Amino acid sequence: MATVNAGILGTGHAYPEGILTNADLEKMVETSDEWITSRTGIKQRRKAAPGEYTSLFAVRAARQAIERARIDPSDIDLLICATVTPDQILPSTGCLIQAELGANNAAAFDLAAACSGFLYGLTLANTMVRCGQSRLALVIGAEVLTQYVDYTDRSTCVIFGDGAGAAILGAVEEGRGILASRIRSDGRFAEQLYAPGGGTRLGTTPETIAQGLHFYKMKGNELFKVAVRSMADVSREVLEEAGVRAEDVALFIPHQANQRITDAVAGKLDVDPERIYSNIAMHGNTSSASIPIALDECVEAGRVKEGDYVLLASFGGGVTWGGVLIRW
């Protein structure tokens, strides 16, 4: 069967109005702006207000992507919402977004791969478009992580923020679009970043809530090492598969987890620091939303031009990681 290349036709992003600064956190836990800035690069993060939920931001980001791709929502035949903070357990947030958008001809579902969710979604959508199963796919990364953050735990509460990003994927001319992609996971490291409660193993009970088991727990310094190694390795793999040299990458967008992780990955790859995008100072870590938010910010700022090689790399709980190389 003849295959077509899939590329990004439009992007969008959205986040809550509410801002939580390092100064705010200084009043909540034993921390300092100096510590947070020097250890993570984060200055502020967006925080959803009570009553604001994941699909609200996802729909706003998706509408922007749809408008920029100049398509009709009814033409979307695949809708993937990458999230670990769904609106509710049933139905999927993807289906709720579908109804809001009027994307009534899509197969909609959620994908849980934590911070790698958007690249997992892109990889699946790419395969579906390439083999002719899908013509126009909407891939969203959306999170309201702050509802799962324990604001008495200084090691996690400084990291996470809320937001959503989206991309429309469709056929593009040969030699363009997604040139290579890889997704990977290793469940042996599951407890490096996890929420023990709230599922079927340890359900939501007064006891599990009192013990804070629904909140994220993180082994930050162990994750740090795995993150650097896996993002650098997967980036090399996709570059090699496409026959593109690191120095030819015009824009590198790593998952925005920590500025020191980004710097360490960049150092291993030999990518010119000016070509690496970082918005960690403004958004913190927004999990699956981090890469599509960053990508859309780059599009809006005119940082991606036709023909550019754009490298995306992610890492997250699971643990999961992935790399996607695009010729814009």
Helix H, strand E, coil C: the string for the chain is CCCCEEEEEEEEEECCCCEEEHHHHHCCCCCCHHHHHHHHCCCEEECCCCCCCHHHHHHHHHHHHHHHHCCCHHHCCEEEEECCCCCCCCCCHHHHHHHHHCCCCCEEEEECCHHHHHHHHHHHHHHHHHCCCCCEEEEEEEECHHHHCCCCCHHHHCCECCEEEEEEEEEECCCCEEEEEEEEECHHHHHHEECCCCCCCCCCCHHHHHCCCCCCEECHHHHHHHHHHHHHHHHHHHHHHHCCCHHHEEEEEECCCCHHHHHHHHHHHCCCHHHECCCHHHHCECHHHHHHHHHHHHHHCCCCCCCCEEEEEEEECCCEEEEEEEEC
Stretch that binds ligand COA, among 66-74, 166-174, 213-221, 265-273 (CB under 6 A): 213-221
Q: Of 5, 22, 157, 255, which one is the catalytic site residue?
A: 255
Nearer to ligand COA, 39 or 184 (CB): 39
Minimum distance from residue 190 beta carbon to ligand COA (Å)? 13
Stretch 170-209 residues interacting with ligand COA (CB under 6 A): 193
Whole-number minimum distance, CB 144 to ligand COA, in Å?
Answer: 16
- Distance CA(50)–CA(271), nearest Å, equals 41
Of 5, 13, 22, 115, catalytic: 115
Residue 262 in the binding site for ligand COA (CB under 6 A):
no
Q: Which of residues 48-107 bind ligand COA (CB under 6 A)?
A: none
Least distance in angstroms from the C-beta of 212 to ligand COA: 17
**Interacting residue with ligand COA among 65, 66, 115, 136 (CB under 6 A):** 115
From candidates 85, 285, 286, 288, binder to ligand COA by CB under 6 A: 285
Task: Return the residue of 252, 315, 321, 328 that touches ligand COA, per CB under 6 A.
Answer: 315
Nearer to ligand COA, 146 or 285 (CB): 285
Nearest to 250 by CA among 176, 174, 312: 312
Q: Does the active-site annotation cover 255?
A: yes
- Indicate which single residue of 5, 40, 85, 93 sits in contact with ligand COA (rule: CB under 6 A): 40
Query: Does residue 155 belong to the site contacting ligand COA (CB under 6 A)?
Result: yes
* Residue 278 found at the interface with ligand COA (CB under 6 A): no
Active site residue 131: no
> Can you read off the two tokens belonging to residue 212?
């804070």
| Beta carbon of residue 250, minimum distance to ligand COA (angstroms, whole number) | 25
Is 35 among the residues that bind ligand COA (CB under 6 A)?
A: yes
* Token couple for 50: 């009570």
Q: Residue 259 interacts with ligand COA (CB under 6 A)?
A: no
Cβ proximity to ligand COA: between 64 and 262 the closer is 262
Query: For binding to ligand COA (CB under 6 A), which residues are involved?
Result: 31, 35-36, 39-40, 115, 154-155, 158, 193, 218, 220-221, 223-224, 227, 257-258, 261, 285, 315-316
Tell me the catalytic residues. Answer: 115, 255, 285
